[in-house]
Amino acid sequence: MNKILELRMIVPNMHLIKIEAPDISKKVKPGQFVIVRPDEEGERIPLSVADWDQESGTITIIFMEVGASTSRLASLKPNDYVATCVGPLGNATEIKYYGTVMCVAGCYGIGSIYPVAKALKGEGNKIITVFEARSSYLIYWLDRFVGLSEKIFTITRDGSSGYKGHVKRLPDIIHGLSQLPDIIIVNGCTYLMAQTSNITKDLNIPTIVNLNPIMIDGTGMCGVCRVTVAGKMKFACVDGPEFNGHEVDWKEFLARRKAYMEEETLFFRRSEPESKLHKEGKCQV
Amino acid sequence: MSEEKIEKTSKIDLDRTEMPKQPPEIRRHNFNEVALGYTEELAIKEAKRCLQCKKPRCKTGCPVEIDIPDFIACIVKGDFSAGIKKIKEKNCLPAVCGRVCPQETQCESKCILASKKGEIAIGRLERFLADWEAAQGKIDLPKKAKPTGKKVAVVGSGPAGITVAGDLILLGHEVTIFEALHRPGGVLTYGIPEFRLPKAIVAREVEYIKMLGVNVITDFVVGKTRSVDELLEEFDAVFIGTGAGLPWFMNIPGENLNGVYSANEYLTRMNLMQGYRFPASSTPVKKHTRVAVVGGGNVAMDAARTALRMGASEVRIIYRRSHAELPARLEESENAEEEGVIFNMLTLPIRYIGDENGWIKEIECIKMELGEPDASGRRRPIEIPNSNFIIPTDAVVCAIGNSPNPLVPSTTPGLDTTRHGTLVADPETGKTTRDRVWAGGDIVTGAATVILAMGAGRKAARSIHEYLMGK
Ligand SMILES: Cc1cc2nc3c(=O)[nH]c(=O)nc-3n(C[C@H](O)[C@H](O)[C@H](O)COP(=O)(O)OP(=O)(O)OC[C@H]3O[C@@H](n4cnc5c(N)ncnc54)[C@H](O)[C@@H]3O)c2cc1C
Ligand code: SF4
């Protein structure tokens, strides 16, 4: 049982939740996640930690409302309790000096990449931030990234800010830079991570993704989060969640990610191809 | 007592009293407990068959040496209260053990009447007494020793952890259990299904140690939320009973297709997350028509029988050896067979084949035959060349075994492991290679049994107590 101190929608469909979790706040590192169970009947949902404060013993998470469980979580109120908040789980991002780091983020990933960018900046890296969203009003925490980033680019589907289009415009941004980034880190939906990895593979830029598969226990017990990386079976919860994006079997990952789509209360019909859903901001995986 | 003597004694009753069960056609559609337990009359009838041997062999087959003839004698007298006390001197989880212990290879196999196939149904009697006590509604809390001021952390709330905690709290120590999942009980909670071990029974056992004063903290992953070293700053001793929860896969093509589960995932969805109540509970489960379970142990039987109860019309066990080598308890494989599970023996899956959406569609198998005995003493299965065939299926549950979770060992310097990933610990005391750290249960032995985990917990508790008091 952990108390909710703050819970609000920060942009449409995207919620910020601040939870009392003193033990976790002392231990969590950039790139790690927790498992939250909204209530006694609730599912266990893995969520990346976007911010924390050791002094007040709190952690902050940004989550998107995508189905039954996340909408139950969103329906709670400050001073309510979540039934479970356990972690920090998974391995932390390797924080060291790389040179120029490009952080590519979309939807909940804007939140989860923030501590990564902050820590990397602390190691003297030059940070270039790229936000990808359906429209400019879906971008949040811009202020937090302004101080950190050498440059901030945006790609929006409707062209309301920055480049018009979606992740496939990334090469335009990269080629406009005076020099290729030394590493790219991507947080966000599967489509964004897969597409970015495809693009950067051709450009030969090392790319780290933070996978978000279905999980139950989050400690390696159930094996539902298994992914194929470089031809080997890995458990995202204990071997990841970060992997080399060029080595992930994305087709398999996407199929596994969607395994329970029918059973989840679906807000959107999902018969269309992933690229179309993504352009409409309905990808949800 | 010798065998000849049995022949001559005319009054010996070799007729084991059957325990009422739900009929297979009915129970395969519900999650209620299969076995219904003895009534008082049946229990007394069965107890009366016991010969009250002077040198009881049954007791030598019990890993925690319960005074079996003594508690049986109490049943004969109708003094159930004394009977359960007798058991609890040695076993703190009788309602669990009476249900899930492999008595047929332990106490019952050693019973002198076993040679005549009339062994006393010791497990059923144990279960009877435990259930009788629970039905009385009041529990006598044993007296605790004076507080010692010593603090012990127990990592994991399976049978090993529960036993250590229960023993040490009575000796006056302060005990805190740290459990990674949101519900305590270990495999008893997340693995063994409701129809074999009702969760209310496990909850009752956990409630009992809480009543004794054990502090149970769930949602706490040792090695992540706090390390063993950090626990050692606050506690005088740490016991590690984290079990063997890491599922094995076979390393064959197609294992990451949708519809291929580890038994842990499948059973956890159903038990811990109450998936069988979906959509009332919110963890989604798939309705599969044809389910194939790979493996031949208790875990495989549990998964297969769960699949039937979830509405699958065709459920099969695929096992690479023959019926005789099935590691599952006989009772469980018989139950599965009665309920209509198909047994494909001497069969090995070599490839999973998916459809265009990434879902499992069929299994390519190969036929096996048994060769010479291997290191385990069982005859080694050998592939028969060109015997490949296809089994169509909608789901596969891989139940070929588990190894210990490396989370605690890998985050605790100085804690040695074997090449199987189990912790190195003294079998008599549970002492590990780290000072002030003990371990027991599946994390030390590899996947084993509830009673062995309990027994290991008991020994460790004794050693921890000696250490704390000698300090
Ligand atoms: C499906 C199934 C059926 C079985 N059937 C039988 C049977 O019929 N008869 C029988 O005798 N045995 C059976 N067994 C085996 C038996 O359940 C185990 O041998 C026994 O439970 C082991 O007990 P344990 O206390 O060592 O570990 P477990 O019961 O595995 O408990 C370990 C606990 O530690 C927790 N944990 C792990 N890591 C951490 C961490 N880092 N921090 C905090 N907590 C942690 C786990 O979440 C778990 O709750 C079965 C097992 C399974 C899976
Ligand atoms: S249970 Fe069997 S071995 Fe044990 S005392 Fe009774 S008859 Fe003898």
Mutation test of the interface with chain B: which of A2, A72, A221, A271, choosing the one with the most B Cβ atoms within 10 A? A221
Three-state DSSP string of A82-143: ECEEEEEECCCCCCCCCCEEEEEEECHHHHHHHHHHHHHHHCCCEEEEEEEECCHHHCCCHH
Give distance in angstroms: CA of B184 to centre of ligand 1: 11
pLDDT (tens digit, 9 = 90+) per residue, B266-313? 998 888 887 777 777 777 778 899 999 999 999 999 999 999 999 999
B416: burial class by Cβ within 10 Å (0-12, 13-18, 19+)? exposed
Q: Any CB–CB contact under 8 A between A233 and chain B? A: yes
Q: Is B161 in the pocket of ligand 1 (CB under 6 A)?
A: yes
Q: Is the CB of B165 under 6 A from ligand 1?
A: no
Would you say residue B8 has pLDDT above 50?
A: no
Q: Is residue B143 part of a domain?
A: no
Tokens 């070293």 -> residue: B229
Residue B95 C-alpha, separation from nearest chain A C-alpha, in angstroms: 26
- Same domain membership, residue B384 and residue B327: yes
The Å distance, Cα B187 to ligand 1 centre, comes to 4
**Where a domain ends, among B382, B400, B418?**
B400
What is the number of the ligand closest to the CA of B75? Answer: 2
Same domain, B213 and B287: no
Mark whether B240 and B255 lie in a shared domain. no
Q: Which residues contact B75 (CB under 8 A, 6 or more apart)?
A: B43, B44, B47, B83, B125, B128, B129
| pLDDT per residue as tens digits for the range B106-128 | 999 999 999 888 999 999 999 99
For residues B340 and B277, what is the distance between their CA atoms, to the nearest angstrom?
23
- Asked if B333 and B239 sit in the same domain, the reply is no
pLDDT value for B1:
43
Contact B219 A85 (CB under 8 A): yes
CA angle at B213 for the pair B212 and B216, rounded to the nearest 5°: 115
Number of structural domains (chain B) is 3
Domain boundary among B104, B136, B168: B136
Which CATH number does the domain housing residue B228 bear? 3.50.50.60
User: What value does the mean pLDDT take over residues B191-217?
Assistant: 93
Q: Is residue B119 part of a domain?
A: yes
Residue of B nearest to A27 (CA): B225
Produce one character per residue of B446-465: b if its CB has 16 or more CB atoms within 10 Å, e if not. ebebbbbbbbbbbbbbbbbb
Query: How many whole angstroms separate alpha carbon B21 and alpha carbon B31?
Result: 13
The residue to mutate among B187, B227, B264, having the most atoms of ligand 1 within 8 angstroms of its beta carbon, is B187
Spatial contact of A182 and A101, defined as CB atoms under 8 Å apart: yes
Exposure string for A260-285, b = 16+ CB within 10 A, e = fewer: beebbeeeeebeeebeebbbebbbbb
Query: What are the structure tokens assigned to B93, written together?
Result: 């989880």
Are the beta carbons of A192 and A167 closer than 8 angstroms?
Answer: yes
CB proximity A255 to B under 8 Å: yes
Question: What integer pLDDT is reported at residue B89 of this predicted model?
Answer: 85
A256 DSSP 8-state letter = H
What is residue B270's predicted lDDT score, i.e. its pLDDT?
86
Q: Is A96 exposed, middle or buried (0-12, 13-18, 19+ CB in 10 A)?
A: exposed
Per-residue pLDDT of B336-394, as tens digits, reads: 999 999 999 999 999 999 998 889 999 999 999 998 888 878 888 999 999 999 999 99
Looking at residue A266, the DSSP 8-state letter turns out to be: P
Whether the ipTM is more than 0.85: the answer is: yes
Instruction: Quick: pLDDT tens for A208-246.
Output: 999 988 888 888 888 888 999 999 999 988 898 999 999
Q: In this structure, how many other beta carbons lie within 10 angstroms of the beta carbon of residue B82?
A: 15
For residue B332, what are the CA distances in angstroms to B101, B244, B327, B426, B433? 11, 21, 10, 32, 38
Find the domain containing B418 and state its range: 151-245+403-470
Provide the b/e sequence for B105-119 (b: ≥16 CB within 10 Å).
Answer: ebbbebbbbbeeebb
- The answer to whether the CB of B197 falls within 8 A of the CB of B96 is yes
Distance CA A252, CA A250 (A): 5
Residues B367 and B463 in one domain: no
> What is the per-residue pLDDT for A284?
54
Asked which of B376, B400, B424 is the last residue of a domain, the reply is B400
Q: Which amino acid is it at B66? A: I
For chain A, 285 residues long, give each residue's pLDDT as a single digit of tens.
999 999 999 998 899 999 999 999 999 999 999 999 998 888 899 999 999 999 999 999 999 988 778 888 999 999 999 999 999 999 999 999 999 999 999 989 999 999 999 999 999 999 999 999 989 899 999 999 998 999 999 999 888 888 888 888 888 899 888 889 999 999 998 888 999 999 999 899 999 999 988 888 888 888 888 999 999 999 988 898 999 999 999 988 888 887 877 665 443 334 445 566 666 655 555
Say how many CB pairs under 8 Å bridge A and B.
115
Contact of B233 with chain A, judged by CB distance below 8 Å, is answered with: no
Q: Can you give the pLDDT at residue B471?
A: 61
Ligand 2 pocket (Cβ < 6 Å) reads B 50-53, 56-58, 68-69, 111-113, 120, 122
B220 and chain A: CB distance < 8 Å anywhere?
yes
Task: Please give the domain boundaries of chain A with CATH numbers for all domains.
Answer: 2-89 (2.40.30.10), 100-210 (3.40.50.80)
Q: Find the range with the poorest average confidence among B47-56, B79-88, B274-283, B299-308.
A: B274-283
Give the pair of three-digit tokens for residue B190: 């997340």
The verdict on residue B373 lying in a domain is yes
- Is a pLDDT exceeding 60 seen at residue B7? no
User: From ligand 2's centre to the CA of B59, what distance in Å?
Assistant: 8
pLDDT of B220 above 80 = yes
Interface of A with B in 56-95 (CB under 8 A): 68-69, 72, 83-89
Q: How far apart are CA B261 and CA B268, in angstroms?
A: 11
Please report, for residues A76, B71, B126, B163, B198, the alpha-carbon distance to residue B87 in angstroms, rounded to integers and kept in the order given.
Answer: 47, 7, 8, 14, 21
To test the ligand 1 pocket, which listed residue (B195, B397, B450, B458) has its Cβ within 8 A of the most ligand atoms?
B450
Of the CA atoms within 13 Å of residue B279, those in its CB half-sphere come to 7
Q: How far is the CA of B399 from the centre of ligand 1 (A)?
A: 15
Determine, yes or no, domain membership for B331.
Answer: yes
The residue with tokens 């070799």 is B14
